[in-house]
Structure formats: C-alpha cells, structure tokens
Structure 1
C-alpha cells in the first residue's frame, strides 16, 4: 500500500497520534498507516515534521531567572547585602552602591560559569548519540533515536535502551521496567496476542521508552514518541532536577560560611573598638566594619571552582573520557583502586582465532590457513560457531562488521578456512542467550540435515555437558583420558594468554521443539573442539599501569575469562609486580565476607577470573568498606548494578551496552585502560588547582585586614591604609583573572607519584591556611604597611597627625594608593608562588602558564588605570604615584614568591632526608611525599 502524504486530508495524522496500542496487531498497523517492513525514508521524514523529534522537552519554561536569583541569595551574597544596607543607613551611599555592584557582577559571573559548566556536561551527549536500528524501506539501519516516528519498525536487541513506546511484532525480550514501575526484576515481553483489558504497563507485548532490554531480540512497531510516551507523561509531571553540589563544592561552601562568620565577628567587634579606643564616630566605625567584612569575603571562590571543574570535563572529553556528572571530576583524583576488565580495556579487543583443537587434529592459524574437508570435525565446528552466532560480517566492499568481537573472530575463522560465514540455509528455531553465570550460549537451528542444538562457552562449562566427542571416524563416547587431554590443552593455551571457547552440538527431533527448555537442550552434547583466540594488549597500557603503581593505585582484574588467560595478559602489562594470585568465581562464592575482607586488605594485586556481575558488586562493597575510592569498569547489562555501586563507574563507549553507559559515571569512547589513568590524573590536577587558587585568594585577606587592625589598635593615630572602595577593586578587579588562570595550571611534577588522598581529607586544611594567611599573607601585609608608612613619613606625616584635610590629605591619598598597588604587586608574587605546592618554579616552568601571564598584564593595566585616570581616581580615592614610589613596590612579587620558594625548598629537603634514612621501604616514600 502507498504511504500517506503528510498534511493531506487523507493522511489521517489525528488517527495516527491517537491509536490504541492494545488493539489487534493488524488494526494497529492499519491505524498507524505502516506495515511490518516499516516506513520509507521519505514518509519518516514527513512524519518527523508533524510529530517532532523523539525527545523529552522541559516543561518548566526558562530556568535561567531562577538560577540567577540563586546566585543573588547565596550566603556570601547575603552577607554583602547586609553590608550594603548598613552602608546606606550610615550615610555612605556611594559605598552602598559599590557593594551592590560587586554583588551583581559576582552573581553574573558565577551564573555564567555555572551555565558554562552545565553546557559542558550536556554537550557530551553529542559524542555518544543514542541510536536505534530501524527498518526503513525494508532494510534495518541505525538512525538517531530522536528521529523515530510513530509507524517505525525497530529492532530491539540485548543490552540496548528502548527509545520509544512500541508493540512487539516478532520475538521475545526481557525488559527492565524499573524506570517506570520500580520493579527490580526484568519482565518477559513476547509478540503474542494476550488479554488486553489490563493496564498498559502490564501488557505483555508492549515495551516503553526509557526501559532497557536485558535479554532477547525482537522487532516492534512504534506507536508513541517524545512527550507522548509513558516516560514523557512522567516527565511532564516532574520538575527539573536541581543543582547538586559536588563534595568539593560542599567543603568550600562550608568553609566560606565559617569565613563569613569570622568576617561578621570581626566587623561587629570593630565597632566598639573603633568608637571607644580610636574615638571614631559611630558612622565611621560602621563603615570600617563594613570594610573588614568585605575584605574577608572570598567572592570569587565558588565560580572559580565551578569553572575549573567544567574545563576539566571538556579536556577529558577531548581525550575520549566522557564524564557525565561534573562533580565526579573531583572524585576521580582520589581513586585508590581500579577494578578493570581485561577484554577491550587492557587488550585491543581485536579477537582472531589462532588455534583450533579437535580430536583428529590441531590447527595453527598463525601461518597460511590449512585446507579443511567438508565432513571433518573441524568443518562441523566451524558450522556450529557460525550458527551459534549473532554477529554480521559483510565482505563485499565496503566491508562491514557488526557484533561482539569474539563472535566476529569466529566468522573470520570460517572465512580463513574457506567455509560459509553466514547462516543462510539454516533457520533459527530458538536461542538461549549468553548467561554470565552459566558462561555459555546455545541456539537451536533447523537446516538441511535436521534440527541441531549448537553451543559454545567456557570449556569447563561446556565439557561437563558433553557425553560424546567428534573423532576422526565419527562420534563416540567421551572417555576420561580424552577429558584430561582437553583439560591439558585448555591449561596450556590459557597459560599462553589465549581466550578459549569449547564448541558442541546435538541432534534433536522436530517433535522436541515445542516447549524446549535450556536445560533439556543443553544436555548430552557432542564435543566438537576448542577454539583459542588471541587479543593482544594495548601498547599504551603497560605505561599506564606503571603510572598507577607510582601513584599508589592498586589494580584488580575482574574478568569472565579463564584465570590463566587473564594472568598472561596482566603479567604482560605489568600488573602484579610481587606475584599475582588468581581467585576463580567458584572460590569467591565460597569465601565468607570476613575472608574476602582479609584477602582484599593484603594490598596485593589480584585476578578475579570467571567472575559474575554479582562478584563485581561484592568486591566493590568490600573495598569501599575498607575506605577505598573504587573505579569499576563494565560493559554488559548485568554490570550496571556494580557500575552504580562503585564510586566511579566506567562504561565502555564502543563495546558497552546502553544500559552500562546509562549506569556509569564515566564513559570511555575508546574503551582504553590508559584513558582511565588519564582521567585520574586530570582529577588530581583539578583538585590541586583548586587548592592553588584557594591559597591565592585567601592570601590577600591578610594584607586587606591588617590595615584596619593597625588603624584600630593605634587608636586612630595611624590613618586607614586602605579604603573600602580599593578593597572592592582588588577583590573584583585584579584578583579574578589570575585565579581563573591558576585553575588551568598544568599538572605539577610528581603528581602521579603521590599516594591517593584519603576519602575524608578536606580541601582546606590547617597547613594550607598557615601558608596562605601566615606566610604569603603575612609577608604581603608587612610589605604593604611598610610602603604605606614610608609614603606618609616621606610626605611629612607624624604619628597622630590628621589626614582628613589640609596638605596631608593628598599625602594620605598617595599612601593608600601605594597600599593598593602594593597588594596588587604582592598578588603577582602570590600567584607565582601558588602555581606549585611542592615543586620549584623552575620545575613547572616560569612561562608555561600563558593565561596567567595575560592575567598579570590585565592586573597591571587595571591598577594603572585606577591610579592615573581622573574619573577613576575620584571614585576610588587614589592619586598618581611618583616614580620613586613605584620603584619601591617593584621587588614585592620577588620577595613574596622568594619566601614561599625558600619554604618549599626546606620542605623538600626535610622529605628527602626522611626518604634517605629509609630508602628500602615504599612506606617511607609515601610518608615523605607531601600530601596533596
């Protein structure tokens, strides 16, 4: 039948959008104006215009006003609002306006950075567009899920996310409906007519958008897309998920609140000191208290952290690491254990069969392929692995491969031996999918020679189901000595690092097909042989493993492969320097929790072979209970719980299923273990950089607060060295760009030579505050007060002189200008010092951070404008300095940086002495290394 034309009177779009999915399948197809072979491309394009993209839309309208208001009522912003109100009440209108400007500019800046961070996370979807196989013009092809329209026929396969509401046409699948119903167990859905009087979600032939296929294969016709799906209806009733602070942001916000309390306390305490001790009027005392409050508030701290995390997300995305939650970047840096899979992560995931064992012969396929007779056991083995296979191999140029790498390797084996590599001529009657616990799969196929069960899987699992073996003279009973011979082959080949599959078959009668169960099908099998495949390790993994070891990160291999195979690969890439113990899935099942905890507490690197997804969860739980931060890799449907349970769930972008990618925190587009290590390094670098610009920002509180204290403690005989407007110029104008540049600092030398930081370690600690407020801030305060007093004395001022009027007023303006310029000069030295926490400036490179150099240039130009441009001089109370005064502050950056460089040199020497006294122990090295 011809397809309707969009927009025509006969097209019946209203009927298409109001179909009853529970009516008979023929009537549903008629109402959808489609057929079992799907729509044409042109018709699908027309319907896309009418129904719109298959995606959920936000119902909350514009959200940016709410986000902006949230910045205006932030705890630090509220503190500044109070300061502005007090300034207005005390008659300092200009000061009140200036503080309000600070609040607005800071809110706009923080809002812009959060929007930037949000866009960085949302943009990651472009790297991994959700695709679905659709039958268009009778041919299955992948299209973006957003292009699905009602009437499309889709192919649903194991491990894929279902992208629209659909009615099954053929096949049967198990579906995880937990996103809609909360039901934790997968439910069976079959393409059979059922009672249609119950609720839609309970219909046994319907599947829904947002759910996942955990097993099986089927085709289905789409009847609802986008906001018309069941998931869309739920989304329409839901509010947008709010902003979630990362642990780092929570820590900094907590410290910011403490600083706010300190600021309020100092400001309130200054009022009686200023009025009683200094003899100030109440209005002046309030103004100075406001100045103290403003000087103590780190206005730019939170937006700077947000930007640093967002930039890290984008950098990792360019490296092939997609971090789905911006808060996870900080967690990455504290990873102490990585539980990695083997295939595709440590290896290239390019399987090729190199050896085949059958009872008559052993084939070595590393050289020219041998000839195989059609009736031989080898030919039967090849026919079995082609039949028991869901991969597709098209050799017609341009050649195309689709499917699991292991199954593709088996098809390439057929090609190499000159045998058919497709299932043409056979009809699949049933399929029992690969079960991670059983570690095998089987199919029931109807062919010219009758109905046969074909099975493949782990040798130890398949072998115990076999009672016969294919020999040179036909099938015969499998004797004990032949079982032993197979076991020896498996052990020897596994030790060589080969991945092994045993292949078996059995003939059954047609009458056995109705109601055939897996248990009945997979019994009394005839062993055809064993296939050995090689998957070479990735060349870059060995270096990544070495970096993990130097960083104190422990590696555990958790794989479904044979233990000897996993050990061969692990040892080749350097895992298990002090020996490598293999724990099988059966052994792990027998281990009580206490013994598992004891095993993991040894600190040795282990291989968990023949492990199930449940084993991964058990291992992750045990490690987390011991205080470790765990990264866990996975690619299968059943890996999803373990990926959710781990601190960092890492899914494979190429070989992974949609379910795994949904559950994971991080997705590797190249499935490469080295990318995990790069992400850990980036997490550590971000954490370090956050600490660096916190040191930079906090260091300036001391030289801003000390002038007020000097004024108060002197009883007003020393005039105020700094005005509130000048403090605002520092905090808002000169400080911000260098702080942002420190957030882009490169990794410090030795970053991956430190042990992981502990889970409970705070980003702000006492040593950091001592360095910021005491060392850097203290030296800056001394220098600033010195240049202030020198300028006053040089102008003829004496202790107690009035500077509010007369000739000394201009001298005082010049002195406050020098205090302002002195702080700016010290800021440059502080920024250079803060670039490194442990190493010397020579090691990180003087000019390696070009953004910081541009920040310095901006800082100097901005400060020069404030002290030389008349309108700005009037607003900020500055005066043009003389040449000798400028020369006084030129060495300030070197003095501040030099003092910090000397302190770090002392720390490094002390650590080196500790290490030299205990050179034989790693514990001494870890103890000597400065903590991040």
Structure 2
C-alpha cells in the first residue's frame, strides 16, 4: 500500500514537472493574473486548508489507563483482590497503592512527548505572497490552494509542492526530505536528477530557499504534498513493543505460573495432609500466592529505569519512554543517517590544487580555527601569485555571509554552504573580506544557472581595469579557458594540462569530495572587451578567454568524535548501516573513512532497492552495505527487514525524511540541535549535543540497566525461599509447628525492607568489560538459569536454613522441646520476629553480594554505592520499629528481641558476604580473569 501510494504521488509530481506552463495553467484553469478570491474560496472548500491534518489519536484517558493494564499491573490488581478476599484488607490496599503510584509515574514520563503532526504543521511558513485578482497579496499559508501563483525568495520556507515557471539563481535546501547536505539548483525547465524529489522545476513543501527568487504554481497543498505523504506514513506506522515490555510480560507469566502452582500445592497439602478446614486452607493458599508475587518488582523496575534516564540525560541523551533505556542495551544494528549525524553538515574545503602545488586546509566547519598549509608550513596573510588569485576569486565572487557564534555555537550562514566554505577559506588565509569588497568593488554579476553551472562577477582592480572572476563546475570552466596560471606566470592551457586537471578531479571525486574550479580574465587596455560598457557584458562575451587558476576540494566532514564511537560500536558487536539521501560515492567515502565499512562494502541506491524483494533485502542487510539516494519509504523498509532478521534496531536521523524510520525502529534517535521537530517527536531518544558518540554511552547505560535489573531481580526473588520455608515446615509437621512467619511479615519483606536496597542496586555502575560483550540474545530472559539457581538455590536455601534455625533457637530458649511450641503469645511473637529478622539480615548480605556478578565488590568500592547503605540502614530501623512499636506489633504479630539476639542478627551478613566473595574469586580464577576486575 505504501509503495502504491508513493508511486501515485510521484506520478502526479512528475506529470506536473513535464507539463508545459501553459498547459499547466489550463489544467488548473488559472488566469494570467492569478485566481480570483471567489475561485480560491471554492478550491479551499474543495481541497481543504493547506495544513498537515492531525490523525485522530487515543484520548488522554485511554493513554492514562494503558499504564495500569500491563500483565504485571493486572497481576497486582488481582493480587490485591485476593488479599482482600482472604481478609487482609490492609495488604490489598497497599498492593493497589503501589500499582497506582507506578502507573501515574509512567504516565507522567510519557506525557511530555509531542505529536509528530503538530511539529509538521509548525514547520510550514505563516504567510505567503500570491497573485490574486491581478495583484500581489499576502495571505496566510493555510489559505493557499492548488493553482495559486506564489512568490518565494532566499530565506523563505516553501509552502506547497509547486511547479516553477520563473526563477533567478534559485537554490533550495531539501535536506529535511532527502538528507542531501548541499542545496540543489532549481530552474523553470524539466530535468530529473538522481533519487527522489529530483525534478529540477519542482519545489517541495517544508524545504527552504537558500538563494535566489522564483514564481511558482501550487500543484499540491496540505496532506497531498510530499510532506503530507510522509506525515501519513509516520502516523500509520505503529510503534513496536519495547523488548523490555516483552520481557516483563514473559517474566510476569513465569512468576504467575510459579505462584499459582505453589498456591495449589499448598492448598492441597493443607487439606489432605494437614487436614485443615477447606475454607481455612483456601485462605492460607491465597495468602501464599500473594506472598510469592514480588509486589515490589514493578515499581522497582520503573524507578530504576527513571534513574537510568536521569543518568543518560547527563550524558546528553534524553529518553521519552522509560522502557527505551533498556532497549539501547540490546541494540544490534544502528541505521544511521549521514548528514548532520555522522557528519557536521557544514561544507569544508580541505584541499586546494594549483599547477604550482597542493595545499592542505586544516580545521572543519564554519569557524576559522584552521590554517592553509603547503609542505607543512602555514600560509600567513594574503599570498601572492596563483593561491592569492584563487583566494581573491573565492572572496569577491561570493554572495554569502557567515556569522560565527562568539559563544562557540553553530555559525549562521546567509547564502549557500558552498560559498560559506569559501568565506571560511578566505578568513583562514587572514583576509578581511569587508575590506576586500571595498577595495575591489563589484561592477556587475552574471548569476549562476544550472545550465552553464558558472557564476561570474566583474570587479574593478587597483588600476581601474575590470576583472572578471568565475567559479563553477570544472567541465564548464575548462570550456571557457584557453590559458592557465602557473605560479605567477600565465601560459597557454594545453591538452596535457586538461588531462591532468581532469585526472586530479576524478581522483578527489572518488574520495567523495566536491570540486569547484576557478578562473579569471583581466580586461586590460588591449582586450577587445574593454570597448564594451560594463552593463553590456554578457555571458557570451565575458565568459571566454579565461585563465584557469585551480581547484578547491570540499566535503561535509565527519564529526571528530565519530571515529572513536564507531570503534566502540564494533567492540560491542553493534553494526552500523549508513542510510542516506546523499550520492553513493559520497556515502561510501564517508563510511570507509570513519570505519563503518571496508572499501568492499556494497552500495545500494534507492532505485536498486525498489527492485529488490524482501528476501534479497534481508540478505543484503546482514552484510557490509550502504544505502544511498533513498526515500522515506526505503528507510523504514530497511529498518523492518533488519528487525525481521532478528535484530534490535536503533535508527538515527534529524530530518522529516527520517521520521517514519525513527518511529518504526525499536529505538529512534533524533538529533536535538539540528533535528527537525518531526524527527524529535517520532523518536524515543534525543541527543542534546547531536553527538553520535553519546549513543555509545547510552548503549553502555542501557546494558548496565539490564544488568542491574537482573541484580535486583535476584535480590528480590531470593527471599521467596526463606519466606516459603516456614509454610513448608508447617505443612510437613501437619500443623504441629506453628507458622514461623505470617503473611503480613512476608509482605514486610516484599514491600518494606527490600525496596530501598533494590533501588540501590538499580544505580550500580557498569562492571568492567560490559561493552566488550555482544548484545544479549533476544531469546535470553531476565529470569535465567543462573538467577534461578542463585535465588532459589544458593542464596535462598542458605537464608532458609539460617532463619528456620533462628526460629527454633528462640523456641528452645523459651523451653522447647520440653514445652510445646506456642501458636500465640509473646514467645511465639518473639520466635516469628527473629525469623523475620534473620531473613532481613540475610537480605543485607544478598544486597552486597548482588552488586557484582563476577567482580569483587571490593574492586568497585565497598561503600561506593551510598543508596544501598542507606537502604540497609532504613530496613534495620524499620524492623526495629516493628519490634518495639505496640500498634505495629499487633498488626505484624511481632515482639521485642534481647541484646544477644540482636548480636546474632548482626553477625549473619558477614560470613555470607565473605563466602560469596570466595565463590566469585574461584569463578574468576577458573575463567582466567584477574582477581580484581
């Protein structure tokens, strides 16, 4: 459907481009003086306002309610109902309160995101000049209709898809649609270039005029424009489910099955083994189901992810959805745009070629922080001979201003990126551009046009003679030159010279560099043109008998930090696929230069991609591949095929054309500085510094978050075994041994003492080497065999033995076995209290042991995580309050402990911690790792 929609829209645009202006005016029933107001009103009613219509979304109420309907949330609602049904009203209310707080927090995080269509609407200009009723009027852009004649000039945003019928030196920045970093030349005659949006006489809504003026006929407005098509494409794209959401759903199903199976088992044992009354056994089983569901897991996960987003914000990565934090850690492929993401989106001259020698130009971007060098030596001041002449042409044959930001921000250019690069080149040579223009005033300009691909200016030299300066495409320059400047001498331009110059041009073009040629003509007294008045200079008379000077080579340079970032991605086994609207040669040159691919990488154009089947594309994206000259439909198709290969895909971008892919990807990453609002709203993450390297830091944080999720999952679940052990003892002894732990005491651990240390585990720093590991397999789960063994085996059984022994020890002190075990009263309360205390202090050891998986805790700093120590302090205070506050004693069936019993509790964590340190040391030794990682 999307492909069909694209073909229909493209056919309409191409038909408008090929149709003559006269026929187009007949087609739109357009008078010479423009539409009448009455006709415009009819068309406005027919076609609708020239706006990007917002697709209906879910109501805020539904969005709010979705935060309370995940599988884990539903499990907690049911658990609350069960607790209330079992007569534990306070417990049920507490569980529901946890769910409400968690849901409200998640909604608040999501509410900050804006709708992509709102941003699309904001990008359109507010007013436009149109011809109506035979005169020029200024109207609101929403009132523009198909068939309207309108005017645009440099600095204007294009308000509609339109056919040019009159233009002067028009250049348009289409990067928001194509990703192409250099403005394209537009004219009033049809010519179709490479890729999408390449009709020379068509301008598109949402693009920006960088140079020149034009009159145009609106052929499509609002949602019928290419801009609107992308809006429909973005809106129709459903966001994929985050991997963490899938994993938490899987975990919920696992825990639900475990809890229900154990509940049924306890119910059957209570009825048929202990011979408990049916109703009492049912309530007992329901209590055990509630106890085995980790009520603290969901809020702990939510708050841990929130902490992850805060840490990532400090690293210039803003996340709009909590679940996307962990998705970063799973990323296997990054589909990255080139312009503005991998590169600076600032054209920079880095080489100058002259007959007398080559020059290197240092420094990148629109700032004068570089030098012109020859053989390692700086060129200081305005040089003489051929280099001086080239710099003079670059300075005086130039209509662009570059205003550098004194605070180090991005410079603002008034004109074209190519001329901005020439301005910076002149400044690097130490030239004062303002003084040069005053000293050599311009007499006339022959503007650039796409036919001859040259721009010529006539200035006055110091002796009063006219100087003709020309810059443009090499092929066009060589046609008008018959001499060449060699050092400070002018000689004939030979065939060998032409062959050499073309060879140099081809050599640099293969490197993805754009060349610009320069020539001049000194109209001396004996020049035949001297007899012609300056105003009568024409292209035919002025652009001939020129002296060829040399070439400049420019490119949109890679970001300085990108090289290290790419290496880190490869170290982490993450592939980068460049997806750009730029040319294949430029795309491959940049990809090879920064290390994304080797020179053997396959380059697939948008046209070639259209011919590929899904299976062919799936195979292609598995290898070294670069996509160039691609359209918006191509981008999310590439992302989709990567996903169907089993990859977790992050897609970066900054333009309107990137929005569908950003929304389709597992995690969309938009540029915060250069990115359009559309890209930012479609994305899950925004880089506030536009730094690709920040993605790598965010991926490390994502991996750390997942590792920490496993750590506190281990921590939370390992207490379930000692919580269940007392009930097992009760059942095995057929009720002769009273319950060593009540359900309310179990919930004290789950919702009380465990919570803060668990949150402390959520902010642990990454263990060394986390980025040297491949992304975790998608078939791996949070609750894996290692966690099950540790939680229910090693840690859980150890805590069960200690807490059960504590229960019987207190009973022994109180006279057991000579006196039967009490099922009520102070001795029973004291026995259950020390059982609870033993579990809590075993959890203190577990909190320390869970901080690392293999590394020694001493290697990361025993006291480096203050949140854990704060949590330990709080849980000790909490357990003390339960022991000594009378009203809490009644609710939780607890009693006071004596000094010796407190000493026993404080001794529990020490051997458990040291034994686990010994186990980790043994594991490291077996694996051949350093004992202090």
TM-score (norm 1): 0.67
Q: Distance in 1 between matches of 2:405 and 2:587?
A: 38
2:605 touches 2:628 (CA, 8 Å); kept in 1?
A: no
Q: Deviations over 1:668-699 (max 9, x none)?
A: 33232321211111111111111111111111
Partner of 1:708: 727
Shift of 1:818: 1.0
SS in 2 for 1:880: coil
Partner of 1:814: 830
Which one of 257, 263, 284 corresponds to residue 261 of structure 1? 257
Which one of 824, 837, 840 corresponds to residue 840 of structure 2? 824
1:698 pairs with 2:717: yes
Partner of 2:242: 246
Which one of 310, 313, 316 corresponds to residue 317 of structure 1? 313
Q: Deviations over 1:837-856 (max 9, x none)?
A: 22111122211111222212
Which one of 90, 94, 104 corresponds to residue 98 of structure 1? 90
| Equivalence map 1:762-801=2 (5 Å) | 762-798=781-817, 801=820
Unaligned runs of 5+ in 1: 1-21, 33-53, 88-92, 137-147, 179-188, 192-203, 221-225, 433-440, 457-461, 508-524, 917-928
Change in 2 beyond 3 A, CA 1:690/1:214 = farther
Q: Deviations over 1:784-824 (max 9, x none)?
A: 1111111112211339935235xxx3211111111111121
1:563 touches 1:582 (CA, 8 Å); kept in 2?
A: no
1:301 touches 1:694 (CA, 8 Å); kept in 2?
A: yes
Q: Distance in 1 between matches of 2:157 and 2:682?
A: 12
Partner of 2:331: 335
Q: Distance in 1 between matches of 2:759 and 2:814?
A: 38
Shift of 1:582: 4.8
Unaligned runs of 5+ in 2: 1-29, 42-52, 129-139, 145-149, 178-185, 189-200, 217-221, 361-371, 374-378, 460-465, 522-545
Q: Distance in 2 between matches of 1:309 and 1:106?
A: 17
1:256 touches 1:298 (CA, 8 Å); kept in 2?
A: no
2:845 touches 2:913 (CA, 8 Å); kept in 1?
A: yes
SS in 2 for 1:501: strand
1:612 pairs with 2:621: no
Partner of 1:749: 768
2:76 touches 2:96 (CA, 8 Å); kept in 1?
A: no
Q: Deviations over 1:648-682 (max 9, x none)?
A: 44443334455555555443332323212111111
Q: Distance in 1 between matches of 2:389 and 2:649?
A: 47
SS in 1 for 2:928: helix
Which one of 425, 435, 444 corresponds to residue 413 of structure 1? 425
Partner of 2:402: 393
2:484 touches 2:547 (CA, 8 Å); kept in 1?
A: no
2:110 touches 2:320 (CA, 8 Å); kept in 1?
A: no
Which one of 271, 294, 299 corresponds to residue 275 of structure 1? 271
| Equivalence map 1:647-662=2 (5 Å) | 647-657=666-676, 660-661=679-680
Q: Deviations over 1:556-591 (max 9, x none)?
A: 677856589648853xxxx48xx9435474899999
Partner of 1:75: 74
Partner of 2:572: 551
1:635 touches 1:656 (CA, 8 Å); kept in 2?
A: yes
Shift of 1:884: 1.7
SS in 2 for 1:386: coil
SS in 2 for 1:684: helix
Q: Distance in 2 between matches of 1:122 and 1:310?
A: 19
Matched residues, number = 780
Shift of 1:873: 0.3
Q: Distance in 1 between matches of 2:574 and 2:755?
A: 35
Of 758-767 and 770-779, more deviation after overlay is shown by 758-767
Of 885-894 and 124-133, more deviation after overlay is shown by 124-133
Q: Distance in 2 between matches of 1:315 and 1:863?
A: 32
Shift of 1:71: 7.8
TM-score (norm 2): 0.67
Shift of 1:56: 11
Partner of 1:435: none
Shift of 1:77: 2.3
| Equivalence map 1:653-692=2 (5 Å) | 653-657=672-676, 660-661=679-680, 664-692=683-711
Which one of 844, 849, 852 corresponds to residue 836 of structure 1? 852
1:161 touches 1:213 (CA, 8 Å); kept in 2?
A: yes
Partner of 2:599: 581
CA root-mean-square deviation: 6.1
Change in 2 beyond 3 A, CA 1:832/1:82 = same
2:708 touches 2:764 (CA, 8 Å); kept in 1?
A: yes
Q: Distance in 1 between matches of 2:266 and 2:745?
A: 19
Change in 2 beyond 3 A, CA 1:668/1:78 = closer
